[in-house]
Structure 1
Amino acid sequence: MQRIYMDANATTPLLPAVFEAMRPFWIEHFGNASSIHQQGQYARAAVDHARESIAKTFHCRASEIVFTSGGTESDNLAIFGVLNQPRPAGAGPFHLITTSVEHHAILHAAQSIAKQGVEVTFLPCDARGIVDPGPLAAAIRPNTKLVSIMLANNETGVIQPIAPLASITHAAGALFHTDAVQGAGKLAMDLSAHGDLKDVDLLSISGHKMYAPQGTGILFVRRSVRLAPLFHGGSHERQRRAGTENVAGIVALGKAFELAHQWLTEDAPTDGPTHLAHLRDRLEQGILAQIEECGINGAGAPRVSNTTNIYFDHVEAEALVIALDLKGLSISGGSACQSGATEPSHVLTSMGLSPARARASVRLSLSRLTTEAEIDTALTLIPAAVAHLRELSPTYNKPAALASA
């Protein structure tokens, strides 16, 4: 059976060029980048080159790139690194503002640091999944130290208005962090003094969401920001992240950023963000045309080009995921980190969906390798699977023609 993969927001395949870039650093060039001999210095040069390549893509300083093990570590380093700083004598607790639709790497970190005495506010979103700047401005207090709002949602693909949100935060004297894991490789990001993300102080990336290996990531840390490290040991990453560098993974991450930059800027008719958005839109339109009582979660909001989240009333998402998997199509019921959870998606319920409709929602996330033929196949498999599951549903009122057949 030929399999079709439409779960790229969970993880992406390793691109051949990325693998070839990292391969020599497993066998031939295995040196420790902190060693002063030739093998070590060769590894150090490779790490430095990757750091400079990533910084060039972001329009920031190479010294502002911290290599981590992935998005979860980067998010935690941002939250705990800022909020575990010593407070001035006599000062009250710090205040953190985040949102109800964040990834659990942020939500659980916020809940954990609240137990340490940090005050936490969770902002709501509208029915499209957008966080409005107004509630943020109203929530900021004199003791607000950090605001953390994701760039693109991992379940719906909805893009937040980061520029005005970060501007409001800076005007109040607080720091701004964005979890950009689902924006990396899909959206251009300019962190320069004149860029759209000029007011972002910290930004998290995960390599395996952008065709690099699992276990790689970065945290952008603007040079004016001080962090308390999560790990203690050596002075790696300018004393912000102790531990011997994953040289092969870092080299691969640098190559993945180079390829992403080319993909975003060249945007050829048969490749690039515009083509990927075309495939996503054709998939959505084909599903909506063939299936009744379904709809797009986040419709009307700006979304990354590869992601759609669709509800199918009278169908359990888990059952649909399994049914399609048996036919060779891999999709998701939502965040891969919550796979197997019985609770409905916190993202979708925050958008106002009922628990039943949230449980009837699935995510399809395309990759840069998705083809027109795969879209055609999906548009055959999905309607058939939904129809079959609805036949088994006690809540589904069959159309008269089907009921009498």
Structure 2
Amino acid sequence: MKKVYADYAATSPCDPEVVRRMEPFFAAVFANAHSVHTQGQEARTAVEDAREYVADMLGAVSGEVVFTSGGTEADNTAVIGTYLANRDRGNHLVTTTIEHHAVLEAVRYCASRLGARVSEVACSPDGRVDPDRIVAAITPDTVLVSVMHANNETGVIQPVAEIGERLRAINRTRSHRVYFHTDAVQTFGHLPIAVDTLGVDLLSASAHKFCGPKGVGFLYVRTGTRMDALLHGGGHEDGRRSSTLNTPGIVGLHAAARIARENMASEADRVRALRDMLWDRVRASVPDVVVNGTMEHRLDGNLNVAFPGVEGESLLVALDAAGIAVSTGSACS
């Protein structure tokens, strides 16, 4: 049976070139990247090359990139770490109801265990968050706003840059800053991203969403952002994330990011054409099919639909039996 994998929002296959680049760092260049000897510094060079490349993609500086074990750790660090470092200034967090669970559960943890007040803003019927509603939720005690760059289920791209611009204006009138975080796990490597254009102070990404390895990601932290570390130990990553660095994974992230950047425009055209062809054929065969979220502001490789009267799990099982892998929702829920 021919198999079709159509669940790239959950994870993507590791590019063979990424695997090739990683292989030497499992055995030949295995030293700890924080060791001072020559072999350790060889590993360190690979890590710092990756850090500089990611920073360049973001329009940032290398010291603002913190390597993590993936998107969940990056999101948790951004939310909980920023809240802990700033609760002397306020105890209010603003996010949306459509965030990945790595953000929602981190925010709710701050509420249940750390005394935070939380506002969760719902999206509009088209799947996008209204910037006016985000701004309206902000209070004098707000210390962090977190809005995802694109939804991991519908693929709808959120107006992050517009929200960032509104927050810049608000911050000019306040005695303490409202920090802005975006979960860009679905967009880094697929859309051009410039942190200054988006107006964000923190940004999360994960390598396995752009054909890199699982178990590695990063958190962008703008210089001057007050954020506590969640992992304590040897003071790695300038004290922001203690742990021996995953050098093979970071090398893989670097290779995948480079491939994604070099092929971003052509790959977007290719997957958009495939997505649109699928959508045209589905609605020609099933006239009452409904697309979830706007098609105007959507990731090129995403199609999220509903069939009235059909139970999603049953359809998933039937498609799986036919060799087609899809999901009815997030793999992380």
Task: Answer yes or no: same fold by TM over 0.5.
Answer: yes
Q: 1:137 aligns with which of 128, 132, 135?
A: 135
286-295 or 213-222, which deviates more:
286-295
- Cα offset, 1:299, TM superposition: 3.0
Q: Which amino acid aligns with 1:181?
A: V
Counterpart of 1:157 in structure 2 is 155
Q: From 318, 324, 331, give the equivalent of 1:323.
A: 318
How far does residue 278 in structure 1 lie from its aligned partner after superposition?
1.0
Instruction: Tell me which amino acid in the other structure corresponds to 1:274.
Output: D
Amino acid at match of 1:336: A
Alignment of 1:4-403 (within 5 A): 4-85=4-85, 87-88=87-88, 93-115=90-112, 116-173=114-171, 174-192=178-196, 196-197=197-198, 199-264=199-264, 267-268=265-266, 272-338=267-333
- The residue identity in structure 2 corresponding to 1:114 is A
Return the alpha-carbon distance in structure 2 between the equivalents of residues 214 and 108 of structure 1.
21
Q: By how many angstroms is 1:292 displaced? A: 3.2
Kindly state the Cα deviation for residue 329 of structure 1 after the two structures are TM-superposed. Answer: 0.7
Aligned amino acid, residue 105 of structure 2:
H
2:127–2:294 contact (8 Å) kept in structure 1: no
C-alpha RMSD over aligned residues: 1.2
Distance 1:109 1:258 in 2: 31
The offset of 1:86, in angstroms, is 5.3
Provide closer, same or farther for how the CA distance between residues 19 and 43 of structure 1 changes in structure 2, counting only shifts above 3 A.
same
Larger CA deviation: 67-76 vs 115-124: 115-124
Corresponding residue of 1:2: 2
Q: Distance in 1 between the 2:49 and 2:86 partners?
A: 34
Q: Which runs of 4+ in 1 moved over 3 A?
A: none
The sequence identity of aligned pairs, in percent, is 44
2:306 counterpart SS class: strand
How big is each residue's C-alpha offset from its partner over 1:156-189, in whole Å with a ceiling of 9 and x where there is no partner?
Answer: 0000011111122232221100000011121100
Q: 1:70 touches 1:206 (CA, 8 Å); kept in 2?
A: yes
Shift of 1:87: 4.1
Query: In the aligned structure 1, how far is the partner of 2:122 from the partner of 2:322?
Result: 38
How far apart are the structure 1 equivalents of 2:296 and 2:163?
Answer: 16
Match for 1:21: what amino acid?
A: R
CA distance in 2, matches of 1:288, 1:311: 11
Could you report, residue by residue, the CA deviation over 1:360-388 in whole angstroms, capped at 9, with x for unpaired residues? xxxxxxxxxxxxxxxxxxxxxxxxxxxxx
Q: Which residue of 2 aligns with 1:355?
A: none
- Match of 2:85, SS state, is coil
**Residue correspondences, number:** 326
Alignment TM-score, normalising by the size of structure 1: 0.79
The offset of 1:300, in angstroms, is: 4.2
1:400 alignment counterpart: none
User: Which AA in structure 1 matches 2:103?
Assistant: I
- What secondary structure, in the 3-state scheme, does the structure 1 residue paired with 2:303 have? strand
Distance of 1:318 and 1:137 partners within structure 2: 37
3-state SS of paired residue (1:78): helix
CA distance in structure 1 between the partners assigned to 2:62 and 2:32 by the alignment: 20
Unaligned runs of 5+ in 1: 339-405
Within 2, Cα distance between the matches of 1:190 and 1:307?
Answer: 22
Q: Do 1:57 and 1:258's aligned partners in 2 also have CA atoms closer than 8 Å? A: no
| Superposition deviation, residue 219 in structure 1 | 0.3
- Describe the SS at the equivalent of 2:195: coil
Structure 2: where are the runs of 5+ without partners?
172-177
